[in-house]
Amino acid sequence: MTGFGHSKTEINGKIIRVEIKSLNARSTEIRCKLPNTYRDREMDLRKKVIDSLQRGKMDLTITLDGFSNEENAFINADAFRKYYKELNAIRQELNINEGDVLQSILRIPNVIGQNEDMADDEEWQEVERAVDQALINIKKFRADEGLVLRADLLERIQCIEQHLKSIEPFEMARLDRIKDRLKKNMEEFVINQQVDQNRYEQEILYYIEKLDINEEKVRLGQHCIYFKEELDLNIDQKGRKLSFIAQEIGREINTIGAKANDSEIQQFVVMMKDELEKLKEQLANIL
């Protein structure tokens, strides 16, 4: 969602500059800083920017340089008198030599201004063209950044897949250790107790099934494939869907960690969680 775009145009001696900035945000928010001559069209500009950029915290700034008609320029006499009186008083108080006070006052904002009438249709069309160009530039900025984010997300999901494959060699050994431990405990227990062998075997099978992580591994692998497929789709606003898939990936990783009961497998679970957290941080930047 982060981006920056700008453009510039000129009409009747008036230079129109447009800047659009966008930051990450869960919702859509836009702030507009416009000359008074365009305030009557603010809602049109808001809609144009939101329809194009869709989501994020956006800032639209339009500034004007130059005057379309010299007759519209004026000097704010009241402000000039006020500044002159105050500056002169400070000069006398501090015993400062009198310099070019006139030029200093004229450089103060709002002393020289321009009578601002609402923009006519010709000027408004020029403003719209400038805004459209700025939108094109910011979307290109977003697209370039998106390619970098895509590469990073793909790397994270591939790391999770690799860690998932690394679990397999330890899985059978884990089950064998669990069986041996249960058998040893049972042998110690049956010295003084009589045990139903059939019931014992049923309980062992039930316990091993509760520790089996094969279903979670399959679902996690499918979620990773689904994530990559969605990542490559040429559609807008895929960030939320990718976030939902990431939640499902996290759920399966947590279940594997809870059921593994094995220190070696837990190491890979921790590494998968680490990659997933990095992936989620990047997803916050996706539209």
Domain total for the chain? 3
Q: What is the pLDDT of residues 41-51, one digit of tens each?
A: 899 999 999 99
111 in any annotated domain = no
- Whether 107 has a pLDDT exceeding 70, the answer reads yes
Task: Pick the closest to residue 32 from 15, 16, 44, 24 (CA basis).
Answer: 44
Q: Which residues pair with 23 in a beta bridge?
A: 57
On whether residue 113 sits in a domain, the answer given is no
Where residue 13 sits, what CATH number does that domain have?
A: 3.30.230.40
Whole-angstrom Cα distance, residue 259 to residue 167? 13
- pLDDT tens for each residue of 150-206: 999 999 999 999 999 999 888 777 777 777 776 676 666 665 566 666 766 666 666
pLDDT band at 2 (very low <50, low <70, confident <90, very high): confident
Share of the chain above pLDDT 70, in %: 84
152/245 same-domain check: yes
Q: Which whole number is the average pLDDT over 127-156?
A: 92
Mean pLDDT value across the chain = 83
Q: Quick one: 26 and 61 in the same domain? A: yes
Does residue 114 sit within a domain?
no
Considering the domain boundaries, does residue 93 fall inside one? yes
Q: Is 24 part of a structural domain of the chain? A: yes
Q: Do 134 and 7 reside in the same domain of the chain?
A: yes
Residue 61 has pLDDT above 80, yes or no: yes
Above pLDDT 90, what percent of the chain?
39
Query: pTM here?
Result: 0.65
100, 154: one domain: no
- Do residue 99 and residue 166 come from a single domain? no
- Provide the residue range defining the domain that includes 21: 3-67+119-143
The pLDDT of residue 136 is above 60: yes
Asked if 82 and 174 sit in the same domain, the reply is no
**Which of 59-63, 94-98, 206-210, 281-285 ranks highest by mean pLDDT?**
59-63
Are 124 and 163 contained in the same domain?
Answer: no
User: Do 17 and 81 have their domain in common?
Assistant: no
Could you tell me if 173 and 189 lie in one domain? Answer: yes
Residue 256 lies in a domain: yes
120 pLDDT above the threshold of 50: yes
